[in-house]
Amino acid sequence: MSKTNSGNFFEDFRIGQVIRHATPRTITQGDVALYTALYGSRFAVQSSDAFARAIGYPEAPVDDLLVFHVVFGKTVPDVSLNAVANLGYAGCRFLAPVYPGDTLSTVSEVIGLKENSNGKTGVVYVRSTGYNQHGQEVLDYVRWVMVRKADEKAVVAEQLIPELPAALSPDQLGSAVPLLDRDAWDDVLSGSRHRFADYKAGERIDHVDGMTVEEAEHMLATRLYQNTAKVHFNQYTEGQGRFGRRLIYGGHVISLARALSFNGLGNAFHVAAINGGRHVNPLFAGLTVFAWSEVLETAELPGRDDVGALRLRLVATKDKPCLDLPYKLENGEYDPAVILDLDYWALMPR
């Protein structure tokens, strides 16, 4: 019997299967510094203990997407080690703040399976939940991933495509943010004078800046999150694959785009939820990422007068600035330059 883990293939999954993932991870100040080094995120609440304490946090919380990556990374050896591609996300809720010193672990449940018509792959739907050292839920999300079959003749009898929410409602947001002192919020230090009331549905914001992806930083990121997927770091296997080279991890793209969005959304300090998202086209090292956002709607949060919520579409492109770029073409297909289409809620002071 082999003592090594070759990962699960599509036919190994069963609906209702619960997987406790290995290697709990304690988040340190080193992780926070490395995250900043990788993406250059400038949101003041996550950057400054003094700023965070002034508005009501005990200290600067860990960046929401760093939490997402760590929780996600735990799932890879069991869910997507043999993946062709990570396809999308839905119903992602950030449920409690995470601070340096907290330890995160992850449990996943298989909620859907659908074999592809080619008989070589199938789509696995999992709901993954991240917990801190006290057993408190900090993150909950659904993702679906295309996974290879080990045996093309294998039969997966029980198949189901789960119903997923198109978007989370405003009353499901805000639990990861304490009641804030908005009068103590310093617009100069936060880098933006624009607050919740300054944004309107239908508004588009070109974030202007671009960031080139390097192979070294991508490799550092996948290792930082303990993401073991072959498609991201094993050139020996991927050199013989569809693209002949490694794919940039989709979460890396999300963090790059989120960091770029600071220029235009500097006070959107907290990702409260991810309604849905698609990695539309692959990204490779050496290409430059740009981003723009569209305000889909604005919402007040029940019982809170300190922050409001912006529902945002974040679109990222490769080697093509976003000014006047339609994210979809007349035939409904995405422009080949588009690599990410993400629908999420962000909180902003009022």
Three-state SS letters, 125-147: EEEEEEECCCCCEEEEEEEEEEE
pLDDT at 319: 95
What does the alpha-carbon distance between residue 273 and residue 145 come to, in Å, rounded to a whole number?
20
pLDDT at 344: 98
pLDDT at 283: 94
pLDDT at 239: 83
Band the pLDDT of 139: cuts 50, 70, 90: very high
Amino acid identity of residue 283, one-letter, is L
pLDDT at 338: 96
For residue 230, pLDDT beyond 80: no
Mean pLDDT, residues 160-167 taken together: 92
Instruction: Give residue-wise pLDDT tens across range 259-302.
Output: 999 999 999 999 999 999 999 999 999 999 999 999 999 999 99
CA distances to 84, 182, 216, 246 from 286, rounded to whole Å, are 22, 41, 11, 12
Instruction: Give residue-wise pLDDT tens across range 42-94.
Output: 999 999 999 999 999 999 999 999 999 999 999 999 998 888 878 889 999 99
Which residue's structure tokens are 């490779």?
A: 284
Instruction: Give residue-wise pLDDT tens across range 292-334.
Output: 999 999 999 999 999 999 999 999 999 999 877 888 888 889 9
- Considering the chain, what is the average pLDDT of its residues? 93
pLDDT at 330: 82
Tokens of 85: 């591609």
Q: What is the dihedral sign for C-alpha 19, 24, 29, 34?
A: negative
What does the alpha-carbon distance between residue 30 and residue 33 come to, in Å, rounded to a whole number?
5
List the one residue out of 56, 137, 57, 154 whose CA is nearest residue 100: 57
The answer to which of 37-46, 52-61, 162-171 has the lowest mean pLDDT is 162-171
Top pLDDT among 272 and 157 is at: 272
List the one residue out of 175, 142, 204, 168 whose CA is nearest residue 299: 168
pLDDT at 136: 98
In the three-class reduction of DSSP (H, G, I as helix; E, B as strand; rest coil), residue 104 is classed as strand
What does the alpha-carbon distance between residue 318 and residue 205 come to, in Å, rounded to a whole number?
17
Instruction: Give residue-wise pLDDT tens across range 96-112.
Output: 999 999 999 999 999 99
For residue 349, pLDDT beyond 90: yes
pLDDT at 228: 79
Q: What percent of the chain has pLDDT over 90?
A: 77
Cβ burial, residue 332 (10 Å; 0-12/13-18/19+): exposed
Q: What is the pTM of this model?
A: 0.93
The alpha-helical segments, DSSP class H, found in 64-119 are 64-79
Report residue 62: phi and psi, to 5°.
-70, 140
In the three-class reduction of DSSP (H, G, I as helix; E, B as strand; rest coil), residue 59 is classed as coil
Q: What percent of the chain has pLDDT over 70?
A: 100
* Paired strand residues for 92: 274
pLDDT at 172: 92
Amino acid identity of residue 349, one-letter, is P
Q: Count H helices, E strands: the chain?
A: 9, 12
Mean pLDDT, residues 204-232 taken together: 89
Report DSSP letters for 167-233, one per residue: S--GGG--TTSPPP-GGG--HHHHT----GGG--TT-EEE----EE--HHHHHHHHHHTT---HHHH
If one counts every other C-beta atom within 10 angstroms of the C-beta of residue 297, the result is 14
Q: Name the packing angle between helices 29-39 and 215-224 (round to 10°).
A: 150
